Structure 1
Amino acid sequence: MPRFTTTDDVGLHYYDEGDGRPVVLIPGYGASADDWALQWGALRASGYRVVSLDRRWAGSSDRPPYGLRMARGGKDVQELLGHLDLTDVLLVGQSMGAGHIWAYAGLFGCERLAGIVTVDQSPCMVNRPDWEYGFYGLTMANLGTFFLDPANVLGTGHGRAWPDPAELDARIRAAGGKGAGSDITPDTYPLMFDHACQDWRDVVARITVPALILAGAESQFWPAEHAAATAGLSPLASSAVVPGAGHPAHTDAPDEVNGLLLGFASSLR
């Protein structure tokens, strides 16, 4: 089981299979690297090397009592790419995984990257006068307490129903993963709060590689219009909305997302 140790002494697990241009997959809050199992086969069959990271406090990675902040997540991505000596990377993140990508790009730039794909993550989670595409119900007035209610971590009643955990687990195992799991615990709430406080719009505006911003049409967290609004921040970005999909669009509609991923990846050649 491949692992590496970060500069702050945390062991992070990852999968690394296939050959070709590297596609590095970063999962969302509470999800493990196996959350991307429904993408692995399509990417490898199309000639890509597929690397999937277990973020700290997820999957088989360590759970240290420190480093639960987005900046450290960006550093972890940077150290993974350095550990594997990866360049010309297509970096893909879903939900908080997309936030890790923006943290990485903000800190280290895009020199190692060929492109970026984000899956259903608004760059600004707090609704503001100049941004109406944040988390439903989240404002500056309630930011400090909003995610202390565990129910809000799963949305506030918008969008489609969440997938059945047993059915999703079976599909992930059938695709070669170890199954669906969730590492959402009170220990990780500081990370969620830090995630919610960020505004990555300035980072998006300054990227130097193409980006594809995907949204689930029936996301439980925010309006799908966030994708077009985010893409509008950069001349290098484009957007698409995945019909019928919720926040985990890559597992709700894997065929559609895989087609978008492969189409975008082929455009980078």
Structure 2
Amino acid sequence: MPFVRASDGVLLHYTAVGAGRPIVLVHGWTMNGRFFDKNIAALAENHQVITIDSRGHGLSGKDLIHLTMPQVGRDVETVLAEIDVREGVLAGWSMGMATVYNYLAQYGTERLAGIVDIDMTPYLFAEDDWEHGVFGNLTPRSSLEVQAQMIADRETLGTTLIPAMFAAGSTQSPEDLAWWAEQSLMVPDLIAMSLWVSFSNQDWRPLLPEIDVPVLLAHGRKSQIYPTPVWEALERQIPQTHTHIFEDSGHSPFWEEPEEFNRAVLGFVDGL
């Protein structure tokens, strides 16, 4: 089970299987690399597939230090340097895409040939000139209310947030919902809170025009987390985009439509 130490000593867990152009999968808030289990085997047939558990998540260290998104971006570089990733594709789901933005801001695209944005906005708050906030209406005040609920009863908060990970109108099995909740609650409350505060306060819109590698926008048509067509705003700002809309998915197309997701990612990667 591979681990590498971050610059501050925190143990980072990662997996690496297969050979070929690296595809690095970065999970969302309070999740972990196991959420990509439906994708790894198919993607690894002709590529090296790497998953990273962000600090505080999954099997990575739960140390209560440096719980900021810039540090999480540095952690990605630590893993990529350990494996010596070159010409890789960095795929971020939800907060994982915020991790990608933090990585790009510090290290650029020297190691990268492409990026995959999995149902994420570059700015979490809805404003008069920006409709693409969380749930289409998140404000700083409502974000504080989410934080208060994290402190009061994070388990109950999960019963609201986890079903929202899937397509509007869909029904998930009790077993899947229980597994998602169990994995999410592995992240200590303070770590979840600290990273929420860190990434909710970032605005990556100014970075978009500077991205100099192709980006696959992999978004769910029925996303409850991002119910507005955020991919259209991204298409206008990022110089090189390919868009794949998953008609029967919400926030988690890699889980909800894994075969189509795998085909879309492979088609993008193999076309670079």
Where does residue 122 of structure 1 map in the other structure?
121
Mapping of residues 139-218 of structure 1, within 5 Å: 139-150=139-150, 151=157, 154=161, 159-161=168-170, 163-164=172-173, 166-167=175-176, 181-182=183-184, 183-187=186-190, 188-218=192-222
Higher relative helix content: 2
Give the aligned residue type for 1:217. Answer: R
Whichever residue aligns with residue 16 of structure 2, its letter is: D
How many residues align? The count is: 260
Equivalent residue number for residue 21 of structure 2: 21
- Are residue 245 (structure 1) and residue 244 (structure 2) matched? no
For residues 4 and 99 of structure 1, the distance between their equivalents in structure 2, rounded to whole angstroms, comes to 22
* Cα deviation, residue 169, structure 1: 8.2
Counterparts of 1:162 and 1:206, CA distance in 2: 39
Residue 107 of structure 1: how far off its partner (Å): 1.4
Q: Is the 8 A contact 2:62 2:188 kept in 1?
A: no
Residues 59-98 of structure 1: pairs in structure 2 closer than 5 A: 59-98=58-97
Q: Provide closer, same or farther for how the CA distance between residues 163 and 8 of structure 1 changes in structure 2, counting only shifts above 3 A.
A: farther
- Residues 57 and 63, structure 1, Cα contact 8 Å, conserved in 2: yes
Question: In 2, are the aligned partners of 1:160 and 1:246 still within 8 Å (CA)?
Answer: no
**RMSD over equivalenced CA pairs, Å:** 2.4
> Kindly, what percent of the aligned residue pairs are identical?
30
Q: Give the drift of 1:5.
A: 0.3
Kept after mapping to 1: 8 A contact 2:168/2:222: yes
The answer to whether the 8 A contact 1:228-1:239 is kept is no
Give the Cα separation in 2 of the matches to 1:52 and 1:169: 22
Q: Distance in 2 between matches of 1:133 and 1:71?
A: 23
* Whole-Å separation in 2 of the counterparts to 1:162 and 1:2: 36
Structure 2: stretches of 5+ with no match in the other structure: 151-156
Aligned to 1:41: 41
Change (3 A) 1:125 1:162: farther
Find the residue that maps to 1:245 and give its secondary structure. coil
Distance 1:88 1:169, change over 3 A: farther
Determine the C-alpha separation between the residues in 2 that align with 1:70 and 1:128.
23
Partner Cα separation in structure 2 for residue 160 and residue 122 of structure 1 = 22
CA distance in 2, matches of 1:161, 1:148: 28
Partner of 1:176: none
Secondary structure class of the residue paired with 1:111: coil
Deviation (angstroms), 1:159: 2.8
Matched residue, 2:54: 55
Q: Distance in 2 between matches of 1:84 and 1:42?
A: 21
Pick closer, same or farther for the CA change 1:156–1:163 going to 2, 3 Å: closer
Equivalent-residue separation in structure 2 for 1:156 and 1:165 (angstroms): 10
